[in-house]
Amino acid sequence: MSMEQHFDLVIVGGGIIGAWALHHATQRYPHWQILLIDRYRIGDGATAHSAGVLLATGRSPRERRLAGESAELYRALRDRLGIRTTQAPVYWLAERSFSADIEQALVDAPVQPADLCAPDLGLRLGASLKVGANESLLRGGTAESYEPPLVARLLIGHSLASAHVRCIEGVGVQQIDALGSGTRITLADGATLRARRTLVATGPWVSEPPFDALAARHGLRVKKVVALHIDGVPPSNAAALFLPQSDAYLMPLAARNQWLFSFRCDEWDVAPRKHALEINRHDVQVATRTLAHYLPELVARCRGGRVFCDSYSPGGESQVSFDAGQNLVFAGAGSGAGFRLAPGIAREAVDLLVAQWPDAPATAKPTLSTVSMD
């Protein structure tokens, strides 16, 4: 790359949020000169380890809005490209007093008493299900499992069809300097470039230089994220079970002939190093404690899983914000929901970029009718 090239937008991070941001920007501002940078390969960071389970829920009005918007855009993408996904009806198991919280959290789907008794639902979960005396089974929503790195690469690949879009892989960002008209970005190979707008969507790498000061200003921390794989071919009518009070769920993965059990891991301030992170004995103990309570037959069938980390905000909700310290927009702190909310987070980020550095009127914002991958 020649030195001091100028771009209308530079996106740092080729994960799922960066991919959707690139897609939104190229759809709305096709004249922009855009560069996407990833220190590894696109879709190969935290996105590659994501469970990719999509269910439109949210704890706040903003999160519910983002969840609904994102679900629509994922469905549009799936239908246009014929992406194969696993879909499963969702059953909820929680204390009766928690029912109102489930109803509030679930977007665009009613929550009703379960249409199956516990033994019948157990047949669709691959193991006997235990329901406590103060607990109730509810039915609401449909969960869908995607392959996040595939989605990221499809979005980026489509955007690269434009002569105005470029991508650099395998080179990290070494320094970002604020300028009156944008930023100067120095890459690890010594090249420099200027960007009128800069978007940082680096996932858990936000805790590392040159972004660590940004993470400190926004109070971001990095937490380990773990999910176990469970042996057993899901039946054709397999269901998903969500345990909101345990912050856990069981999802069939028909394409992999196994189940995925996601649960809460509370190991904080970890470094995003692929070969240093592993599922340890404590992780298995935490997961199997929940499984033993509800689905004890699955404990002996746990075989490996996936582990990585994600950045978390102080309030546990994703962030899209302007950072005056480095004159850029930050989008991330997915707090474990980065894939699920990525299209909406990315749309907010592009909106903020344009509000901060105004441009000529954009084309129509992406909708179900305008998102095209042809």
Query: Is 88-143+221-312 CATH 3.30.9.10?
Result: yes
Whether cis (ω within 30° of 0) applies to the bond prior to 119 is: no
Q: Which of 121-125, 253-257, 320-324 has the highest mean pLDDT?
A: 121-125
State the chain's mean pLDDT as an integer: 92
What is the pLDDT at residue 123?
97
pLDDT of residue 212: 92
For range 339-366, the mean pLDDT: 82
For residues 317-345, give the mean pLDDT: 93
User: Given 3.50.50.60, 2.40.30.40, 3.40.50.980, 3.90.1150.10, which CATH number is that of 5-48+148-211+315-356?
Assistant: 3.50.50.60
Residue range(s) of every CATH 3.30.9.10 domain in the chain? 88-143+221-312
Mean pLDDT of 166-181: 93
* % of the chain exceeding 70 in pLDDT: 95
Residue whose token pair is 């105004």: 358
Range name among 266-270, 274-278, 295-299 with the lowest pLDDT average: 274-278
Q: Where does the chain hold its CATH 3.50.50.60 domain(s)?
A: 5-48+148-211+315-356
Q: Where are the alpha helices (DSSP H) in the chain?
A: 16-28, 46-49, 61-81, 99-105, 118-125, 148-159, 212-217, 281-294, 338-356
State the Cα–Cα distance between residues 347 and 349, nearest whole angstrom. Answer: 5
Instruction: Write out pLDDT tens, residues 90-106.
Output: 999 999 999 999 999 99
Angle (CA) 230-59-73 rounded to 5° is 75
